[in-house]
Structure 1
Amino acid sequence: MADAIIRPIQKKDNPHIAKVIRKVLVDLGVPKVGTAYADTALDCMFETYQKDRAIYFVVEQEGKIIGGAGVAKLDNYEGNVCELQKMYYLEEARGRGIGSQMIALCLKAGSDFNFEKCYLETMTFMEAAQKLYKRNGFKYLDGPLGNTGHFSCPVQMLRDL
């Protein structure tokens, strides 16, 4: 299998990353309400990240988008905290170290944007993702920070940058 390329999102990627994220969420049985599935940003990811202190990366393999992740300021929160956002991968991207590469890239971007901490939300049953986050320095919180609108995501994690 050819090497995957990680690069910043381009406008042409919008329909492809939206399809990837929705497919992963459906495959995992995630609720469509109160999760990323319902986010209006899914269909305009390039535009969503065209703001200060925000970036989204996609993983491309042989011309096909197979995953992505990004960072941006945590919504509705006063502190200097970014959020690891929309980190989803098709099956062919999993188990290849791409997630760790992507987290490292996103954390470096968050640090370069002068954020002090990085926050994320996930689902209880996404155990492989949680192991990946823990390996990368994230620790569990007792409740949410800010208000992302993802009320169906009961697991919150945080790490220093």
Structure 2
Amino acid sequence: MNTWKIREIKPEDNQQVKELIRNVLVEMGVPKVGTAYEDKALDDMTQTYEGEKMVYMVVEENSRIIGSAGIAPLTGEEEKICELQKMYFLPEARGRGIGMEMITKCLDFAKKQGFEKCYIETLPYMENARKLYHKNGFEVIEKPLGNTGHYNCTVFMIKDL
């Protein structure tokens, strides 16, 4: 039986989620500019994902947030393409099937919202993340879509829903 559960973010999760995302980015050696590290959205993820056709989920284990991910319309491509956003897991959450379950829940949500494709940006050296995306049907494309503002992310992937 799982000792963890995936649920929607609550206001009291905001600080833990912000720290989790920044800690994972630092661990991975990600630049602090041109990436999610500097996103203002991190200050209040609950409010950021309150809009239509968006959701942010967390993985909770023993009253602690160990992972998170969200779906939102891709800025500049709002109609048919969503973006899998800010998907990060602490080391203790990795290799346990949690990422696979999180992607499934996010993509199920996206389909229910009527999106036709899902887009993601990542970095070349985030190999485990890229493998997980590939296993879930994401394919690398040559150039970015939309306008995410993450100019340091250089791997672009998309999947038909």
TM category, shorter: over 0.9
CA distance in 2, matches of 1:142, 1:126: 17
SS at match of 1:59: strand
Tell me what 1:101 maps to.
101
CA distance in 2, matches of 1:101, 1:137: 14
- Checking the alignment, whether the CA contact within 8 Å between 1:69 and 1:87 is kept in structure 2 is yes
Deviation at 1:77, TM superposition (A): 2.2
Q: Deviations over 1:83-138 (max 9, x none)?
A: 00000000000000000000000000000110000000000100111010000000
SS at match of 2:15: helix
Tell me what 2:3 maps to.
3
CA distance in 2, matches of 1:72, 1:143: 20
Matched, 1:127 2:127: yes
Deviation at 1:79, TM superposition (A): 4.6
CA distance in 1, matches of 2:98, 2:2: 13
Tell me what 2:64 maps to.
64
In the comparison of the two structures, how many residue pairs are matched? 161
The one-letter code sitting in structure 1 at the alignment partner of 2:152 is: S
Tell me what 2:40 maps to.
40
Which structure 1 residue ranges, 4+ long, deviate > 6 Å from structure 2? Answer: none
- Checking the alignment, whether the CA contact within 8 Å between 2:73 and 2:79 is kept in structure 1 is no
SS at match of 1:128: helix
SS at match of 2:145: coil
CA distance in 1, matches of 2:147, 2:50: 21
Tell me what 2:141 maps to.
141
CA gap 1:148/1:95 in 2 versus in 1, 3 angstroms: same
Matched, 1:23 2:23: yes
SS at match of 1:137: coil
SS at match of 1:147: coil
SS at match of 2:59: strand
The one-letter code sitting in structure 2 at the alignment partner of 1:154 is: T
The one-letter code sitting in structure 1 at the alignment partner of 2:138 is: F
- Checking the alignment, whether the CA contact within 8 Å between 2:79 and 2:115 is kept in structure 1 is no
The one-letter code sitting in structure 2 at the alignment partner of 1:48 is: T
- Checking the alignment, whether the CA contact within 8 Å between 1:2 and 1:62 is kept in structure 2 is no
- Checking the alignment, whether the CA contact within 8 Å between 1:2 and 1:61 is kept in structure 2 is no
Give the superposed CA RMSD: 1.2
